Amino acid sequence: MNHKTTMASIRLVDGYAPGVLASTIALHMAYYARTWGFGGRFEALLGQEGGQFLEDYAPERDLFVRAETAQGEVVGTIAIDGSHQPAGTARLRWFILAEAARGVGLGRRLMQRATAFCRTAGFARVYLTTFVGLDRARHLYEDFGFRLVHEADGDFWGNRRIEQRFEWTSTMPT
Protein backbone atom coordinates (compact mmCIF):
# COMPACT_ATOMS: atom_id res chain seq x y z
CA MET A 1 0.00 0.00 0.00
CA ASN A 2 1.37 3.40 -0.86
CA HIS A 3 0.65 6.51 1.17
CA LYS A 4 -1.70 7.83 -1.53
CA THR A 5 -4.17 4.98 -0.94
CA THR A 6 -7.29 6.29 0.76
CA MET A 7 -9.71 4.55 3.10
CA ALA A 8 -12.29 4.64 0.32
CA SER A 9 -10.08 2.34 -1.77
CA ILE A 10 -9.70 -0.25 1.02
CA ARG A 11 -12.43 -2.82 1.22
CA LEU A 12 -13.28 -5.17 4.08
CA VAL A 13 -13.79 -8.78 3.06
CA ASP A 14 -15.17 -11.49 5.34
CA GLY A 15 -14.03 -15.08 5.38
CA TYR A 16 -11.27 -17.27 4.12
CA ALA A 17 -9.22 -16.72 0.97
CA PRO A 18 -6.12 -18.63 -0.11
CA GLY A 19 -3.03 -17.15 1.53
CA VAL A 20 -4.92 -15.10 4.12
CA LEU A 21 -3.23 -16.87 7.05
CA ALA A 22 0.20 -16.24 5.52
CA SER A 23 -0.69 -12.57 4.97
CA THR A 24 -1.88 -12.27 8.58
CA ILE A 25 1.32 -13.80 9.91
CA ALA A 26 3.44 -11.60 7.63
CA LEU A 27 1.70 -8.45 8.90
CA HIS A 28 2.26 -9.51 12.51
CA MET A 29 5.90 -10.38 11.97
CA ALA A 30 6.61 -7.17 10.04
CA TYR A 31 5.53 -5.23 13.11
CA TYR A 32 6.33 -7.43 16.11
CA ALA A 33 9.76 -8.66 14.98
CA ARG A 34 10.96 -5.17 14.10
CA THR A 35 9.38 -3.27 16.98
CA TRP A 36 9.37 -5.82 19.83
CA GLY A 37 11.96 -8.43 18.90
CA PHE A 38 9.50 -11.31 18.56
CA GLY A 39 10.87 -14.23 16.59
CA GLY A 40 10.25 -17.79 15.52
CA ARG A 41 8.35 -18.83 18.63
CA PHE A 42 5.78 -16.10 18.07
CA GLU A 43 5.51 -16.84 14.36
CA ALA A 44 5.03 -20.56 15.05
CA LEU A 45 2.30 -19.76 17.59
CA LEU A 46 0.52 -17.56 15.04
CA GLY A 47 0.67 -20.36 12.49
CA GLN A 48 -0.54 -23.04 14.88
CA GLU A 49 -3.40 -21.04 16.36
CA GLY A 50 -4.36 -19.47 13.03
CA GLY A 51 -4.41 -22.88 11.37
CA GLN A 52 -6.63 -24.29 14.12
CA PHE A 53 -8.96 -21.31 13.77
CA LEU A 54 -9.32 -21.85 10.01
CA GLU A 55 -9.83 -25.58 10.48
CA ASP A 56 -12.63 -25.02 13.01
CA TYR A 57 -14.11 -21.92 11.30
CA ALA A 58 -17.90 -21.67 11.45
CA PRO A 59 -19.35 -18.41 10.04
CA GLU A 60 -22.23 -18.28 12.54
CA ARG A 61 -19.72 -18.31 15.43
CA ASP A 62 -16.48 -16.98 13.97
CA LEU A 63 -15.48 -13.95 11.94
CA PHE A 64 -12.36 -13.28 9.94
CA VAL A 65 -12.09 -9.95 8.16
CA ARG A 66 -9.27 -8.77 5.95
CA ALA A 67 -8.78 -5.25 4.69
CA GLU A 68 -7.40 -5.19 1.20
CA THR A 69 -6.43 -2.63 -1.39
CA ALA A 70 -7.88 -2.52 -4.89
CA GLN A 71 -4.82 -4.54 -5.96
CA GLY A 72 -5.70 -7.30 -3.46
CA GLU A 73 -2.91 -6.56 -0.96
CA VAL A 74 -3.94 -7.44 2.60
CA VAL A 75 -3.27 -4.39 4.80
CA GLY A 76 -5.16 -5.41 7.94
CA THR A 77 -6.97 -8.24 9.66
CA ILE A 78 -9.19 -8.92 12.64
CA ALA A 79 -10.94 -12.05 13.85
CA ILE A 80 -13.56 -13.12 16.34
CA ASP A 81 -12.93 -16.67 17.53
CA GLY A 82 -15.96 -18.27 19.17
CA SER A 83 -14.58 -21.82 19.16
CA HIS A 84 -13.15 -23.50 22.25
CA GLN A 85 -14.67 -20.79 24.49
CA PRO A 86 -17.31 -20.93 27.23
CA ALA A 87 -20.86 -20.40 25.95
CA GLY A 88 -21.56 -16.78 25.03
CA THR A 89 -17.84 -15.90 24.95
CA ALA A 90 -15.50 -15.13 22.07
CA ARG A 91 -11.96 -13.92 21.61
CA LEU A 92 -10.84 -11.00 19.47
CA ARG A 93 -7.66 -12.03 17.67
CA TRP A 94 -5.21 -11.18 14.89
CA PHE A 95 -5.95 -7.47 14.85
CA ILE A 96 -3.12 -5.92 12.87
CA LEU A 97 -2.57 -3.20 10.29
CA ALA A 98 0.24 -2.69 7.82
CA GLU A 99 2.34 0.31 8.77
CA ALA A 100 1.14 2.32 5.75
CA ALA A 101 -2.50 1.63 6.71
CA ARG A 102 -2.24 3.06 10.23
CA GLY A 103 -3.70 6.39 11.19
CA VAL A 104 -6.38 6.55 8.49
CA GLY A 105 -9.31 5.01 10.42
CA LEU A 106 -8.91 1.43 9.23
CA GLY A 107 -8.45 0.05 12.73
CA ARG A 108 -11.69 1.71 13.80
CA ARG A 109 -13.53 0.21 10.79
CA LEU A 110 -12.23 -3.26 11.64
CA MET A 111 -13.22 -2.88 15.31
CA GLN A 112 -16.70 -1.68 14.28
CA ARG A 113 -17.12 -4.73 12.08
CA ALA A 114 -15.91 -7.09 14.83
CA THR A 115 -18.06 -5.67 17.63
CA ALA A 116 -21.14 -5.55 15.36
CA PHE A 117 -20.59 -9.25 14.60
CA CYS A 118 -20.30 -10.00 18.33
CA ARG A 119 -23.64 -8.33 19.01
CA THR A 120 -25.33 -10.11 16.09
CA ALA A 121 -23.86 -13.49 17.07
CA GLY A 122 -25.10 -12.97 20.63
CA PHE A 123 -21.77 -13.00 22.45
CA ALA A 124 -22.21 -11.63 25.95
CA ARG A 125 -18.46 -11.37 26.56
CA VAL A 126 -15.47 -10.91 24.28
CA TYR A 127 -11.88 -10.84 25.44
CA LEU A 128 -8.50 -10.12 23.92
CA THR A 129 -4.95 -10.49 25.11
CA THR A 130 -2.22 -7.98 24.42
CA PHE A 131 0.73 -6.55 26.32
CA VAL A 132 1.86 -3.32 27.91
CA GLY A 133 3.26 -0.82 25.42
CA LEU A 134 0.73 -1.06 22.60
CA ASP A 135 -0.83 2.25 23.62
CA ARG A 136 -2.57 3.15 20.33
CA ALA A 137 -4.27 -0.24 20.20
CA ARG A 138 -5.22 -0.01 23.87
CA HIS A 139 -6.83 3.38 23.28
CA LEU A 140 -8.88 1.92 20.42
CA TYR A 141 -9.93 -1.11 22.50
CA GLU A 142 -11.08 1.19 25.29
CA ASP A 143 -12.96 3.39 22.80
CA PHE A 144 -14.95 0.26 21.89
CA GLY A 145 -15.76 -0.60 25.49
CA PHE A 146 -13.02 -3.09 26.30
CA ARG A 147 -11.78 -2.81 29.87
CA LEU A 148 -8.54 -4.05 31.40
CA VAL A 149 -9.36 -6.94 33.75
CA HIS A 150 -5.99 -8.63 34.36
CA GLU A 151 -2.24 -8.18 34.00
CA ALA A 152 0.49 -10.79 34.46
CA ASP A 153 4.24 -10.66 34.03
CA GLY A 154 5.68 -13.60 32.17
CA ASP A 155 7.30 -15.09 29.10
CA PHE A 156 4.61 -14.55 26.52
CA TRP A 157 5.06 -14.86 22.76
CA GLY A 158 8.75 -15.63 23.05
CA ASN A 159 9.97 -12.82 25.28
CA ARG A 160 9.25 -11.24 28.64
CA ARG A 161 6.29 -8.86 28.73
CA ILE A 162 3.40 -7.83 30.94
CA GLU A 163 0.43 -9.49 29.30
CA GLN A 164 -2.96 -7.81 29.58
CA ARG A 165 -6.47 -9.18 29.22
CA PHE A 166 -9.24 -6.83 28.16
CA GLU A 167 -12.93 -7.73 28.16
CA TRP A 168 -16.02 -6.33 26.52
CA THR A 169 -19.56 -7.23 27.44
CA SER A 170 -22.63 -6.75 25.27
CA THR A 171 -24.01 -4.23 27.75
CA MET A 172 -21.05 -1.88 27.19
CA PRO A 173 -21.43 0.93 24.67
CA THR A 174 -19.40 0.95 21.46
19 has pLDDT over 80: yes
Domain ranges in the chain? 10-169
Q: How far is CA 112 from CA 18, 30, 49, 67, 132, in A?
A: 25, 24, 24, 13, 23
- pLDDT at position 174 is 47
User: Where are the strands (E) in the chain, listed by range?
Assistant: 11-14, 63-68, 74-81, 89-97, 125-131, 147-156, 159-169
Third-level CATH fold of 10-169 = Aminopeptidase (3.40.630)
Q: Give the C-alpha separation, 137 to 150, whole Å.
A: 17
171 pLDDT band (50/70/90 cuts)? low
**For the residues 58-77, what does the mean pLDDT come to?**
95
